[in-house]
Chain A
Amino acid sequence: MDSSHRPLSATSQHSIASERHFDQADASQAGSSRLKPGAQLTLMRYLQDLPDADVPPSPVPPRYHTGRLPNSKADDGKPRLLLMGQRRSGKSSISSVVFHKLPPSETLYIETTTRIKKESMHSFMDFQVWDLPGHLDYFDPAFDVDNIFEEIGALIWVIDAQDEYLDAIMRLNMTILNLQQSYPNINVEVFVHKVDGLSEDYKSDTFRDIIQRVQDELSDNGYENAPVSFYQTSIYDHSIFEAFSKVIQKLIPQLPTLEALLNSLCSTCQIEKAYLFDIMSKIYIATDTSPTDIGSYEICSDYIDVVIDVSEIYGWDRPVENGNSEIAETGNNDAESLITMERKGNNYLYLREINKYLALICLMGDDSPAEKKAVIDYNVGVFQAALKQVFPRAEREGPPTVTEE
């Protein structure tokens, strides 16, 4: 794909950057030094793994997933997210934008999905995303229903808000009622999609209408209080990431603990808002329980881009300098970043890499972090330690030279 057609938005920057880098790396170093074993796993190391994200970089089975599935029999199964909905509702676009960082404008050229597309995400939590073509009836006896729905974590139903949606609702309800019998624990998440093209009033009317119709029809069929949630989404802003964040959060059993930890961190350090981000997908897996607004999520998400982009530029494999670079590089493994704004009363941003996959990002108010930085650093350290107890397996890998048990 031609990279220079892409807009200069934050996310596409990133994708241009990584593509270019690979061209150069392949040309100049023939891929050998890129895989140097002594390299440590920090932000940029991680970033370089990005294009290989579908395939775990090592033959060792991934050990990072922590999610437990409501329906899972074997605990080594990956949570599965099913993307379903009418054809042309935007399922493939969503998965390309969220998981492959495709610039939204390029989704116009995605071809119709004709078969089930399975993608696995190797990240803080391993999960699979299945993109199901809209024109098939999955309850046809020809399909192995169990195979599709057995281990799913969440069913995401995409409805095109700009289109006639009655059919979509009918099929959604049919699906819910069918699934309810065999898999009552499935979370059904409805994305009212493509809302970017609607006016503010029309948007909320449509949204309310869809909720109303789904719930009415379900209760008509005797299914009260169905576990169905609704989100307004668009790939042209951050709303799709926010919706995905909430979907993923439901699959994390430790969420209340995480939230409590973040809450206490916030109150101790007078942090306005703290997010725990999955660096690669820019999905946040937890935040403190103070009210969220999309603006602060967007700031944090763009901020990750800045840090990753700069890290990429200066995080190249340097030749060993006088033999002492090994020692120098063990100094500070976790990436850490701080932005202070010029004008008084503006937010400060603080980022700290928590482990290979997660970063903590805090928005801070008027209080100057210059004086409080030490306190924040210390408390974040405590938070990091606590997180290790919550996710013993999510612990950061030591340098590969250390033998493991």
Chain B
Amino acid sequence: MNTAKRQKQRKVLLMGKSGAGKSSMRSIVFSNYVAKDVRRLGATIDVEHSNIKFMGNLMLNLWDCGGQDGFVENYLTHQRNHVFGSVAVLIFVFDIESREFQADVISYSNIIRALSECSPGAKVFVLIHKMDLVQARLRAQLFEERAEYIRSASEGFRDTVDFFPTSIWDQSLYKAWTQIIYFLIPNAGTIEALLQQLAEVIDARELILYERTTCLMVTHVTRGTEGENPFTDRFERISSILKTHKQSMAKHTGIPAGSANFAEMQIKTGRFMFFITRLTENTNLAASIPPSEQVFNAARVNILLVRPKFAELDVASKPRPGIQQAFTHSAESEGRERERGDTHPSIIFQHLVPEWVALHMGYI
């Protein structure tokens, strides 16, 4: 499992019936579209490929497959090996409003069969899309029914397939994609461990790691009472807040949305302090900390110091020489001597703790 995840490029198939909302979804998540902009999208012809760089070593190779019957036929026959070979994740989108649900499921089974033939180790996510069109009180039930039915048609993937209700008009889209991304990240465990340590050091209530361009959450660490935060969907909410802000900045300043990134955002109130800052080339770190200026400043300094450590994680799965280079590079740029071998994350924190204490004292 782990070795399979080490692959740099991960092939993700996005499939589903024509008009189900595959390309709309992709444009919103990856191309800075606003939900209402997707009206401009036309039908996808054949397959549209896009490469999305995530956390340095994860490269998503997204295949947005046009869903018209003719194309699907072609995928299943002539291009069977080409399309379904070495797939890491299949995302299948069902339109909840579809009138031919049975036919959709048959098409789904065909695709599942081809997938289990060519890449049996793949993971399947099923998104039941356009949930906003269903009355709120019927949603959960309808979703369960459909999910059960689709599961029974999932053959070899019956036990591993995951279902999400989604809509481009609320945060559910981000929720589903966050899970998908989390599955794809090769070293999620290491990142989490490192974040956990960082959180302890800076006394953060919560740390959330976001990917920069998509604003999707990579992972998060929650400590203490913050676990009782009544907003259980806060990660997706922040994703969409950040995204909206980015679009607003882009719109009114005339910068392309791709580069309208902020370097840092701080919000301080009497109940919490919150800031988002760059962590690595592709990630932003959001931190919620107790309302105290000295903790705030210490946290910022510590995050600045820990950056190289996370940058190393990014390149950790590169071939050996790359690691050596990266280490030399980061050690130089950091300007402090560190042994080559100290790959264990805790060591840098041991360096950090005294500084943090000193800073803390300085402010008192």
Distance in Å from the Cβ of A376 to the closest Cβ of chain B? Answer: 13
Q: What sequence of 0s and 1s flags, for each residue 13-47 of chain A, a beta carbon within 8 Å of any chain B beta carbon? A: 10011001100110011000000000010111000
Residue in contact with B267 in the complex, picked from A8, A310, A319, A328, CB distance below 8 Å? A310
- On A, residues with C-beta under 8 Å from B are 2-10, 13, 16-17, 20-21, 24-25, 28-29, 40, 42-44, 295-296, 298-299, 302-303, 305-307, 309-316, 318-319, 321, 328-343, 346-347, 353
How far apart are the CA atoms of A236 and B272 in the complex, in Å? 34
Interface size for B (C-beta < 8 A) is 55
How far apart are the CA atoms of A216 and B254 in the complex, in Å? 40
> Does B343 touch A at the CB level, under 8 Å?
no
Complex interface: chain B residues within 8 A of A332 (CB)? 268-270, 273, 291, 293
A44 near B269: Cβ-Cβ < 8 Å: yes
Instruction: Show 28 residue pairs from A and B whose CB-CB distance is below 8 angstroms, ordered by the A residue.
Output: A4-B136, A6-B169, A8-B35, A40-B271, A302-B244, A303-B245, A305-B241, A306-B265, A307-B267, A310-B241, A311-B269, A313-B231, A313-B234, A314-B229, A314-B288, A316-B230, A328-B290, A329-B291, A333-B269, A336-B267, A338-B265, A340-B265, A341-B249, A342-B259, A342-B263, A343-B255, A343-B259, A347-B253
B225 near A328: Cβ-Cβ < 8 Å: no
> Does B261 touch A at the CB level, under 8 Å?
yes
Distance in Å from the Cβ of B342 to the closest Cβ of chain A? Answer: 31
> Does B167 touch A at the CB level, under 8 Å?
yes
B262 near A339: Cβ-Cβ < 8 Å: yes
Complex interface: chain A residues within 8 A of B266 (CB)? 336-339
With A2-B136, A309-B241 as known contacts, state yes or no: A331 contacts B170, CB within 8 Å.
no
Q: Which 7 A-B pairs have the closest CB atoms?
A: A302-B248, A4-B132, A295-B252, A335-B269, A314-B272, A337-B267, A333-B270
Chain B minimum-CB-distance residue to A330: B270
A329 near B170: Cβ-Cβ < 8 Å: no
How far apart are the CA atoms of A13 and B255 in the complex, in Å? 23
With A2-B135, A8-B169, A331-B292 as known contacts, state yes or no: A341 contacts B262, CB within 8 Å.
yes
Complex interface: chain B residues within 8 A of A331 (CB)? 270, 291-293
> Does B36 touch A at the CB level, under 8 Å?
yes
Complex interface: chain A residues within 8 A of B252 (CB)? 295-296, 298-299
> Does B228 touch A at the CB level, under 8 Å?
yes
> Does B274 touch A at the CB level, under 8 Å?
yes
Complex interface: chain B residues within 8 A of A302 (CB)? 244-245, 248
Residue in contact with A310 in the complex, picked from B35, B253, B262, B274, CB distance below 8 Å? B274
Distance in Å from the Cβ of B83 to the closest Cβ of chain A? Answer: 32
A9 near B237: Cβ-Cβ < 8 Å: no
Complex interface: chain B residues within 8 A of A303 (CB)? 245, 248
> Does B131 touch A at the CB level, under 8 Å?
yes
B136 near A329: Cβ-Cβ < 8 Å: no
Complex interface: chain A residues within 8 A of B272 (CB)? 314-315
Q: Which of B264-307 contact A (CB under 8 A)?
A: 264-274, 278, 288, 290-293
> Does B240 touch A at the CB level, under 8 Å?
yes
How far apart are the CA atoms of A301 and B296 in the complex, in Å? 26
How far apart are the CA atoms of A303 and B272 in the complex, in Å? 18
How far apart are the CA atoms of A8 and B271 in the complex, in Å? 27
